[in-house]
Structure 1
């Protein structure tokens, strides 16, 4: 039996669908929402992810876990102490689950982390690697780093196999936030000032991430390792928008505004972090993932974009 936490979320939901399609006995942990899952998937309500959550019913008979539930990074943080809030859920909540899982005899625990553990941007020409020193810059990334470290320690102490996966930006059917907004603007033919961005970004299609998570559940060499994941092709923001528009059967209307002008204007408007994501470089090296797991992304970037735009909510 495989338990998936965060099963109503963007990644967790896709993983549950994939596991069910592949015929795995799957249990979906949910907070309180009533939601339909594929036939054969068991749903168990566990409430919020916290240090006090009781996982006994959810863990009965479980051999492996993919832990995708988390307090996620938000653009407009309202908490007075964001790091404390992230720690409550992403560190203490995660360790509570992992401790109960080890006691219940769970063999493998796959933790969905974030590339933010590596940092916000990679040096030009030097992609992040899985075994680079951690360098998170925001509270979300710090909480994910702390959870990783404590999970690996717990795994050694309790004899439970821990696997960590750090994705960059994930896109696919049902994607929301800034990625979905830009895709809608492209579809409507809105001119965008992003025609002269010469950065390099790694992304990962939702189906590719789900495929790697399944591989990490099953492959013997995954135990105790940290893996990075991407589509295996890095693109500039400008090229990404052009190819997304092509997937829609449209032409992107991109104005060639220099990135320095965009970043300067964004700083004046208090949107420096938005400009950084649009203009900055963030590349990941998945050579370790390929080498140890024999894994390659099933979908190309163009195939992933095609699926994403076909599933885009208007």
Structure 2
């Protein structure tokens, strides 16, 4: 079976390519190549990893996000429909549903509240894909992961690790939260299971996540264990942090209200639906085991 990875140059794509290459012939497709559509016609499975999530240089426009996250998804799906492939896996994001807070585990039928250009463009792609007529012999599976982490990750967990590794006291310990994550091993496992069993699945959206959430305090404890170094905390009163964040809403300041919500809010995801359809009882690694592997990789860099 030939699996086409569209947009596989990033952290997720590199790990997924290695994982799937044990069982399948992998072809990495760059949509920047002029003849990518011809190459894609000869695949069995499409996995669309193309997307834009970050704007580190603060130069991206709304149109840039919609081009990467919506327009290229539309183009990829049209090529899939014209090909002999039977399965289209679209990697969306929890941001298409919710970006800040949910004290109850979010299910696939929850009302969407995307906030950023990233979340809104991901949601727009989901809506467009679900509105398409899908041939009876083909499947469309949309996967919504929360934050994906693992060796090679350069995202917010790496920033947190760098912050505390320098001995800078963590100032938000007064905020109690829990968040759902997914380690890259479990992410790849879900993809592999979908490829094996997609004929028994319904078209639609599925949440993928580790089974248990972690709090920021849990992550700081893991950093202490892995590095054998004390993480210093400053118990700044919550009202002062909230006041500083409000100031940051109107003035150049490292913290604002939205960033504070992302750093301290509880955001939980339910993965029951996909586990039931795929008949998965246990994931390869626990949430804590996956986080330990990630933090260990940071400490070796």
TM-score normalised to the size of structure 1? 0.85
- Asked whether the 8 Å contact 1:244–1:305 carries over to 2, the reply is no
Counterpart position of 1:27 = 27
Counterpart for residue 252 of structure 2: none
Q: Does 1:232 align with 2:233?
A: no
Of 123, 142, 157 in structure 2, the residue corresponding to residue 164 of structure 1 is: 142
1:197-276 matched pairs, under 5 angstroms: 197-219=175-197, 220-270=199-249, 271-272=255-256, 273-276=258-261
User: Is the CA contact 2:101–2:261 (under 8 Å) kept in the aligned structure 1?
Assistant: no
**CA 1:152–1:309: 2 relative to 1, 3 Å:** same
Cα pair 1:174 1:311 within 8 Å, conserved: yes
1:5 and 2:3 aligned: no
How far residue 212 of structure 1 moved from its aligned partner, in angstroms, is: 0.9
SS in 2 for 1:127: strand
Does structure 2 conserve the Cα–Cα contact (< 8 Å) formed by 1:172 and 1:308? Answer: yes
**Displacement after TM superposition at 1:58 (Å):** 2.5
Q: Secondary structure at the match of 1:226?
A: strand
1:311 and 2:300 are equivalent in the alignment: no
CA apart distance, 1:72:
1.8
Structure 2 residue 271 is the aligned partner of structure 1 residue 292: no
- Partner residue of 1:17? 18
Q: How many residue pairs get matched?
A: 291
Structure 1 pair 108–135 and aligned structure 2 pair: CA distance change class (3 A): same
Which of 26, 37, 54 does residue 73 from structure 1 map onto? 54
What's 1:281 paired with?
A: 266
SS at match of 1:283: strand
1:12-33 CA distances to partner (integer Å, 9 max, x unpaired)?
111001011x221111123xxx
| Alignment match of 1:301 (pick from 270, 284, 287) | 287
Query: SS where residue 266 of structure 1 aligns?
Result: helix
Residue pairs, 1:84-233, within 5 angstroms: 84-124=63-103, 126-154=104-132, 156=134, 160-219=138-197, 220-233=199-212
Query: In 2, Cα distance between the equivalents of 1:17 and 1:261?
Result: 46
C-alpha distance in structure 2 between counterparts of 1:157 and 1:139, whole Å: 31
With the length of structure 2 as denominator, give the TM-score of the two structures. 0.88
Asked if 1 retains the 8 angstrom alpha-carbon contact of 2:99 and 2:119, the reply is no
Poorly superposed stretches of 4+, deviation over 6 Å: none
Q: Residues 199-224 of structure 1, C-alpha deviation per residue, up to 9 Å, x if partnerless?
A: 12111111111111121222233341
- From the superposition, tell whether residues 118 and 75 of structure 1 become closer, same or farther in structure 2 (CA, over 3 Å): farther
- Across the aligned residues of Structure 1 and Structure 2, the Cα RMSD in angstroms comes to 2.1
Q: Does the 8 Å contact 1:248/1:306 carry over to 2?
A: no
Change over 3 Å in CA distance of 1:54–1:96 after alignment to 2 = farther
